Amino acid sequence: MSRLSHRLAPSCTYFVTTKTWQNRAIFQVTENAEVLVECLMKYRDQVAYLLHEFVIMPNHLHLLLTPSETTSLEEAMQLIKGGSSFLIHKQRETKMEIWQPGFYEWTIRDFEDFEVKRLYIRQNPVEAHLVERLEDWPYSSAGGKFILDPVEIKRFASGAKAPSLAGRSMSELKLRPPKKPSEPKLRPPKKPSELKLGLPEKAS
């Protein structure tokens, strides 16, 4: 099976979700979550990608990132998942599976799309009832403890300015695919009485 071309394209910004093996709460363990934070920052500092936002949940990880010019999205995720698995195995002296294979990605279309995904990430621990305030979750960029990379608005085609998303609930931030182009409205067929039928003339 050939690799998806958009996963190979550099400098696109992505919203990424990847899950733990069998949805186990592996990152509910503090040491495991700290290892994953360490990996995220390590490869960011090595300029494998720009890291715009993240949250580590007990059984999954959400990211907003932009791979570097020399790194594909697949390579960036291999670094994060492979690096964290290696360190957790080494630290805890275990060979248990850490991650499900693969990941889910969404290519960010414009600045409004970016802001919606960013707020979704930040609110995740609150919506999951892990904390009351988003800044209280220690394994998230929402707390302001981590250096993040700004996103360049010009990289998005529309450059649209996002509306204020403050106070909007998760139900209002559903991650929906782009709307399909609207189909032309078809008029109902006319009644027989409205149709002027050209009947053949009788032969003389």
Q: What is the pLDDT of residues 33-65, one digit of tens each?
A: 999 999 999 999 999 999 999 999 999 999 999
Task: Specify the pLDDT at position 6.
Answer: 46
Instruction: Tell me if 121 is assigned to some domain.
Output: yes
Antiparallel, parallel or unpaired: β 104-107 and 14-19: antiparallel
Report the C-alpha gap between 20 and 5 in whole angstroms.
25
Instruction: Tell me if 79 is assigned to some domain.
Output: yes
Among 18-22, 70-74, 151-155, 183-187, the minimum mean pLDDT is found in: 183-187
Q: How much is the pTM? A: 0.73
Q: What residue type is 42 in one-letter code?
A: K
Whether the predicted pLDDT of 25 surpasses 70: yes
Instruction: Tell me if 116 is assigned to some domain.
Output: yes
Whether the predicted pLDDT of 183 surpasses 50: no
CA angle, 161 then 162 then 163, to 5°: 120
Q: Please state, for a pLDDT cut of 70, what percent of the chain lies above it.
A: 69
Instruction: Tell me if 68 is assigned to some domain.
Output: yes
Report the C-alpha gap between 125 and 130 in whole angstroms.
5
Residues 6+ apart with CB under 8 A from 109: 156, 157, 158, 178
Instruction: Tell me if 59 is assigned to some domain.
Output: yes
Report the C-alpha gap between 143 and 20 in whole angstroms.
23
Tokens read off for 139: 């394994």
Q: What does the H/E/C string look like for 169-188?
A: CHHHHCCCCCCCCCCCCCCC
Instruction: Tell me if 113 is assigned to some domain.
Output: yes
Instruction: Tell me if 186 is assigned to some domain.
Output: no
Domain that holds residue 39: 5-159
The predicted model gives 99-117 an average pLDDT of: 94
8 confidence band (pLDDT: 50, 70, 90): low
CATH number of 92's domain: 3.30.70.1290
Instruction: Tell me if 181 is assigned to some domain.
Output: no
- For the chain, what is the domain count? 1
Task: Specify the pLDDT at position 143.
Answer: 87
Task: Specify the pLDDT at position 92.
Answer: 84
The predicted model gives 124-129 an average pLDDT of: 96
Tokens read off for 6: 């958009």
Task: Specify the pLDDT at position 175.
Answer: 43
- As beta bridge partners, residue 61 has 18, 56
Residue labelled with tokens 């695919």? 177
